[in-house]
A and B are shown apart, each in its own frame.
Chain A
Amino acid sequence: MKQQAFLDKINPVKDKMYRLALRMLISKEAAEDATQEVIFKLWARKDKIKDYTNVEAFAMTTTKNYCLDELKAKKNNNLRIVHQNYENNSISLQKGLEVKDEMHWIEKIVSQLPEQQKIVFQLRDIEQLEFEEIIEITKMKPTAIRVALSRARKKIRESLTNKHNYGITKN
């Protein structure tokens, strides 16, 4: 496969890979490095890609595994990934600061979820993938996926509800 043909295949998936890496590694820099690294890996194994009918799922699985390895390595070294990427440029001004604050809050809650729930939530609610695709990427059982997803959704809403009850004193 020529490099250009490879890039044409990988480009539509690139941002998805990046978002998954960002979800797992939290730091923008680390996520970009990871995406780059995974694309290199895929390029090195480009002959195998031909055999995979679903390049996207394969790329996402590789990204997921790479990030898990990365997290494990960081944990072993007692390092924490630092990040300073709390910015918000896509929400319109009229919705205001209140929404921005909520978005950060959700970001924080999600970052505290267990890895599996994070991944499933990312793939389903953010990337809006079909369950079949999520099964292929995560190699999890369908029921396990639903349970993880349900827990993640409930946990996020629960935290939001708690926050609001603390923030706005309702009598």
Chain B
Amino acid sequence: MESQKIKELLEKYDAGETSLTDEKALREYFQNNEVTDNLKTYQLLFAYSEKTGAQKMEREVEMPASKQGNRYLWTAIAASIILVVGLFFFQNKPMEMNQSDLGTIQDKEEALQKSMEALKMVSELMNEGKENLIYLKEFNNTKDKFIKTE
């Protein structure tokens, strides 16, 4: 661009009458050309606005926390409903099975006999198991050698 045109544009610029396109042209001109001392101030001014326009906010914008809490609120409600429903189903099932098991023997005497048999079997098994514990006496025998109780 010839200097006459630049001069005209700068006059308009000073008066605040340049369009954005004019200003862009000036900006480019001053960026790419060395200028005489009397135009130096324009160059600095354009360099300054270029540089300042590139500044960015360094801090991240934080949105209000309560809004975020709201988002989790519904998840929490859904989770607790699932939990309650789940517990309800799992607890009911074993109870139904027990009741049907209890109903197998109707006759009282037979039931008594059956339970006696069951208890007897348990006690027999207990005694059987107890026999194996006889070795534990050895502990007492050894202990008595050291600790005398009179």
Contacts and interface: CB of A to CB of B under 8 A. Distances in A.
A32 B58 contact: yes
A161 B41 contact: yes
A11 B107 CA distance: 82
Given A36-B61, A164-B40, A150 B14 contact: yes
Interface residues of B, number: 30
Interface string A112-146: 00000000000001111010000000000000011
Interface stretch (A12-20, A52-60, A74-82): A12-20
A66 B55 CA distance: 20
Contact of A15 (B16, B24, B48, B56): B56
Looking at B40, B42, B48, B49, which has the most chain A CB atoms within 10 Å of its CB?
Answer: B48
B28 to A, nearest CB: 13
A133 to B, nearest CB: 10
Contact of B55 (A19, A39, A154): A19
Contacts, number: 87
Contact of B54 (A90, A102, A107, A147): A90
B67 interface: yes
B62 interface: yes
Interface extent on A, as a size class?
35 or more
A35 B61 contact: yes
Contact of B67 (A3, A22, A125): A3
A52 B104 CA distance: 78
A126 B57 contact: no
A9 interface: no
B16 A145 contact: yes
Interface in B28-58: 40-42, 44-45, 47-49, 51-58
